[in-house]
Amino acid sequence: MPEEDDNKTIQQEEILALTSIFGSDIFQLDPQDSLNQLYLFKLSLESDISSSTSSEYRSHSKNFITIKFEFPTEYPSTSPPNYKITSLYCGTLKIDKRIKNEIDKKFKELFIPGQVIIFEWIEWLKEFLIQKLIEHQSCNNLNNFIDNNNDDENNNVKEIKEIEKNKEGEQQEEKEVKEMIKIYKIDNNHQKISINCPEIISGESLEHKRSVFVAHLAPVNSLPEVNLVRDTLMLNKKVAKATHNIMAYRIIRDDGILLQDNDDDGETAAGGRLLHLLQLVDAKNIIVIVSRWYGGIQLGPDRFKDINNVARDLLEKCGYVGGGGVGKNGNKSGGGGDNKKTKKK
């Protein structure tokens, strides 16, 4: 039938769009019921609820729900798709009958015959659940405060001790990791001395379609220092969890040889483009690392512009553009690198 064929075509286009927007690991065929063309959608609110609430209101439970979709032959010409929320909880919030009724009411209000509905409904559902979580967590914290009001002094002492214990543990862990990555060199008296990590400077963040980019740089004069800067930067748990940490460096040795190399870290061709930027601005004795946290929406070639833009902005602010930069002993490094020998490491 022509109408059913049109519906099927529209459904396939909607499924393709949802997969492209959210990713195949978020919106996918139900592996347990793929024959009936049921789809699973995992709506995660982790990043949204973290940015919308203070740390004292954040839940240690995972803030997400799973929804199962079925596309009847009448959708979207006359009927909406069928859906079922299979999760009993979103974080500590119970998805009870009252909440489900509110969600279903909005679902029916949004549906217009002949038009797809899932993306618009998911965007509304996300905001709806965030608000419910904030209200629920605020209420829980208020109740806990009232219940424990008589034990405030003991609780405060216990909390302070716990914070101090955690802080000591983190400091010890950081100390052990730094000891593991410590770099040494041999001085003129054949004594082993440690190399301190150069100062690492981070720039402003750039957000583009939920992806976030941040550039970091440090002055370096040797390959051991390059490795030391990278390893030290990875001590930052947020940086270590970035989807990509793209790197490029340029160093002029005492014998005039120019050392330079790059690393894409999974972002194909990004490292080479970052190195090309360093060559264009003639920055020397420097390592630049750009962290990218993927936001779920593909940027295409624009991602290279974002990477180079945050890198160039930081280079300019630190005085590396135009052959500048900090060389050995804190001195500015000059231009004239075009006639130097180049060696990759």
Sequence ranges of the domains in the chain: 2-46+61-142, 198-318
- Residue 55: the pLDDT is 46
Question: Lowest-pLDDT range, 77-86, 282-291, 297-306, 313-322?
Answer: 313-322
Task: Give the predicted TM-score (pTM) of the model.
Answer: 0.44
Q: Is the pLDDT assigned to residue 344 strictly greater than 50?
A: no
Of 59-68, 81-90, 221-230, 304-313, which gets the smallest average pLDDT?
Answer: 59-68
The CATH architecture that domain 198-318 belongs to is 2-Layer Sandwich (3.30)
- Residue 30's SS3 state is coil
- Interhelix angle 270-280/302-317, rounded to 10 degrees, is 40
Q: How confident is the model at residue 343 (pLDDT cuts 50, 70, 90)?
A: very low
Helices 2-22 and 118-147: crossing angle in degrees, nearest 10, is 50
CATH topology of domain 2-46+61-142: Ubiquitin Conjugating Enzyme (3.10.110)
State the average pLDDT for the chain: 80
Q: Mean per-residue pLDDT for 249-261?
A: 92
Q: Could you check whether 2-46+61-142 and 198-318 share the same CATH topology?
A: no
Whether 326 shows a pLDDT value over 50: the answer reads no
* Residue range 179-200: mean pLDDT, rounded: 60
Segments in the chain forming alpha helices (H) = 2-22, 46-52, 97-110, 118-147, 152-180, 223-233, 237-240, 270-280, 302-317
Split at pLDDT 50, 70, 90, the class of 133 is confident
CB 109 within 8 A of CB 124: no
